[in-house]
């Protein structure tokens, strides 16, 4: 009970420092440094005391072996002198307190003096992993896999090697490591989940599903496996299955991300009423989430309820005045309503960072198109064509098609819409405008063929 109180006091103190230090005037910075030093000294004292108690427990068990609880024996014994044992216990304490740099100093000394100590190697690898030193961590996990005798250690080593490979974007190696982990620990749900996630990242969605199912059979409340199953079915176009598993994941987790995902799925299925229902749930349960306001504004706009859309958008902007997605949507609405002054003012408020640059470029191209400066509009749209993301390139061709169409250049527009559709095969907007171009050329059968594809989807 007292330990939990101490932990709560330390967490509260760290929280106060995290909140207060960045806004404090220079004259108060010393106060916060002293406060952090007090917490650190308290942790050091606790860890030293813990190490002393651990030693006493070890001596007591040596004197009275019958006191030792009966657990599964793992033949990985290793004797450390008292000094190193105390250092190891302190390292464990630092690790449990997420003080990974301090833990690394402790475990480094142990592995240098006792390189054959398996638990020291394992903790050294884990600490390096937490410090994002994945290549160095792999060296220790490899050693564990090669030298451990018990399947639990070998399997855990392979599992951690797979996690390092994922962080290093070495997916083939990750697949191999997770498979080896399963060979040693077939009842380890995390290994099955990670194997499925590796297949998912490589877009092998059909292959990934059985691994997530197996993880669920071992841990039936695993909402993350349910979530990934839903994502796989979504990629495969099985909307009924993805809806079932998305709802199952939400029921298990009640996580706001699940509400977002379900709402977005309904958007993709062109069911704005259902999307609005889930965005409303998100807004009621998490009113500080800007996604809810953007989703409500967008879907009311899609349904033609422009006044309600505008109200939700303005409410969102009043709460989150610098939210990029809300600003994009407001600028877009201003362009549609021909309010170019407000559109330009809003565009100026959007930061030109890497994440938003492509969308901002598209909106700016649309702005120049609306004000009739087609040359600048085309030049701006051309900036999208050399981007690595194929969806961005498709957006660039689509925007160029709109610009050519506004100028009555139907053939040039048709070529751009066709290119956009070839690049982004699931995007239906270019198909609509392709049909419109054929209609303007008098080719009604080809126009109807395009629009039939829209109704079939």
The yes-or-no verdict on residue 71 having pLDDT over 50 is no
Residue 243 confidence (pLDDT): 83
Mean pLDDT along residues 161-178: 92
pLDDT exceeds cutoff 90 at 177: yes
Least trusted range by pLDDT, from 128-137, 366-375, 439-448:
366-375
pTM: predicted TM-score of the whole model, two decimal places: 0.58
pLDDT at 375 over 70: yes
Least confident of 36-40, 66-70, 273-277, 392-396: 66-70
pLDDT above 60: residue 354: no
pLDDT digits (tens, 9 = 90+) for 286-318: 888 999 999 999 888 878 888 899 999 999 999
All residues at 6 or more sequence positions from 221 whose CB lies less than 8 Å from its CB, including other chains: 252
Cα distance between residue 456 and residue 447, in whole Å: 15
pLDDT of residue 75: 43
Q: Is the pLDDT of residue 205 over 80?
A: yes
pLDDT at 53: 67
Q: Give the separation between CA 334 and CA 146, rounded to whole angstroms.
A: 64
CB atoms within 10 A of CB 142: 17
Q: In this predicted model, what pLDDT tens digit does every residue of 7-49 receive, in sequence order?
A: 667 777 777 777 777 767 767 777 777 877 777 777 766 666 6
Task: Dump pLDDT digits (tens) for 208-234.
Answer: 999 999 999 998 888 889 989 999 998
CATH code matching the domain that covers 267-339, chosen among 1.25.40.10, 3.40.50.970, 1.20.1730.10, 3.90.950.10: 1.25.40.10
- Structure tokens belonging to residue 57: 């427990």
Instruction: Provide the 8-state DSSP code for 163.
Output: H
State residue 178's pLDDT score.
Answer: 92
For residue range 107-155, list pLDDT tens digits in order: 888 888 888 888 888 889 899 999 899 999 999 999 999 988 888 889 9
- Residue given tokens 């190891």 in the structure block: 88
Those residues with Cβ within 8 angstroms of residue 334's Cβ, 6 or more apart along the chain or in another chain: 340, 342, 343, 346
Q: Residue 427, SS3?
A: coil
Q: How far apart are CA 419 and CA 406, in angstroms?
A: 18
Among 418, 417, 416, 362, which residue's Cα sits nearest to residue 389?
Answer: 362
Select from 310, 358, 368 the least CA-distant residue to 335. 368
Which two structure tokens, joined as six digits, stand for 405?
Answer: 């169409």
Q: How far apart are CA 435 and CA 428, in angstroms?
A: 11
- Cβ neighbours of 113 (radius 10 Å): 14
The pLDDT tens digits of the residues spanning 226-268 come to 989 999 998 898 888 888 888 888 888 777 888 888 888 788 7
Instruction: Give the end-to-end CA distance of the chain in Å, rounded to a whole number.
Output: 60
Q: What does the mean pLDDT of the chain come to?
A: 82
C-alpha distances (whole Å) from 92 to each of 63, 122, 128, 278 are 25, 11, 13, 44
In angstroms, the CA 201 to CA 165 distance is: 13
Please tell me whether residue 87 adopts helix, strand or coil conformation: helix
pLDDT grade for 415, boundaries at 50, 70 and 90: very high
Count Cβ atoms within 10 A of the Cβ of residue 193 and give its class: 0-12 exposed, 13-18 middle, 19 or more buried. buried
Lookup: tokens for 258: 């699940």
Q: How confident is the model at residue 368 (pLDDT cuts 50, 70, 90)?
A: confident
């Amino acid at each position: 009970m007292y330990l939990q109180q101490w932990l709560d006091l330390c967490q509260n103190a760290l929280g106060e420092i995290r909140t207060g230090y960045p806004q404090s005037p220079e004259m108060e910075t010393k106060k916060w440094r002293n406060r952090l030093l007090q917490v650190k000294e308290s942790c050091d004292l606790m860890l030293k005391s813990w190490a002393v108690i651990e030693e006493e427990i070890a001596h007591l068990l040596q004197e009275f072996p019958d006191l030792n609880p009966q657990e599964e024996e793992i033949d990985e014994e290793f004797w450390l002198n008292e000094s190193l044992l105390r250092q190891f216990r302190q390292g464990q304490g630092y690790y449990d307190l997420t003080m990974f740099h301090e833990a690394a100093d402790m475990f480094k000394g142990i592995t240098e003096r006792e390189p054959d100590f398996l638990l020291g190697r394992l903790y050294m690898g884990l600490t390096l992993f937490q410090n994002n030193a994945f290549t160095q961590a792999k060296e220790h996990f490899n050693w564990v896999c090669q030298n451990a005798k018990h399947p639990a250690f070998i399997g855990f080593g392979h599992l951690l090697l797979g996690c390092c490979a994922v962080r290093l974007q070495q997916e083939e190696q990750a697949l191999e490591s997770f498979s080896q982990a399963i060979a040693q620990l077939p009842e380890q749900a995390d290994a099955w989940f990670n194997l499925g996630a590796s297949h998912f990242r490589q877009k092998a969605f059909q292959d990934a599903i059985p691994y997530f199912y197996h993880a669920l059979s071992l841990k039936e409340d695993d909402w993350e496996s349910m979530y990934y199953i839903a994502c796989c079915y979504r990629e495969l176009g099985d909307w009924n299955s993805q809806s079932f598993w998305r709802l199952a994941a939400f029921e298990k987790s009640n996580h706001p991300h699940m509400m977002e995902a379900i709402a977005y799925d309904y958007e993709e299925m062109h069911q704005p009423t259902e999307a609005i229902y889930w965005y409303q749930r998100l807004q009621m349960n998490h009113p500080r989430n800007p996604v809810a306001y953007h989703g409500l504004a967008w879907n009311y706009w899609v349904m033609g309820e422009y006044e309600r859309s505008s109200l939700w958008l303005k409410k969102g902007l009043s709460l989150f005045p610098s939210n990029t997605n809300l600003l994009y949507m407001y600028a877009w609405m201003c362009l549609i309503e021909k309010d170019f002054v407000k559109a330009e003012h809003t565009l100026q408020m959007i930061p030109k960072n890497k994440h938003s640059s492509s969308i901002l470029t598209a909106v700016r191209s649309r702005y120049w198109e609306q004000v009739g400066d087609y040359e600048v509009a085309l030049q701006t749209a051309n900036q999208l064509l050399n981007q690595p993301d194929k969806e961005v390139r498709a957006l660039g061709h689509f925007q160029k098609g709109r610009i050519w169409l506004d100028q009555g250049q139907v053939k040039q527009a048709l070529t751009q819409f066709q290119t956009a559709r070839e690049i982004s095969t699931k995007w239906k907007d270019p198909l609509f405008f392709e049909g419109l171009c054929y209609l303007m050329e008098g080719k009604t059968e080809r126009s109807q063929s395009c629009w039939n594809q829209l109704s079939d989807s």
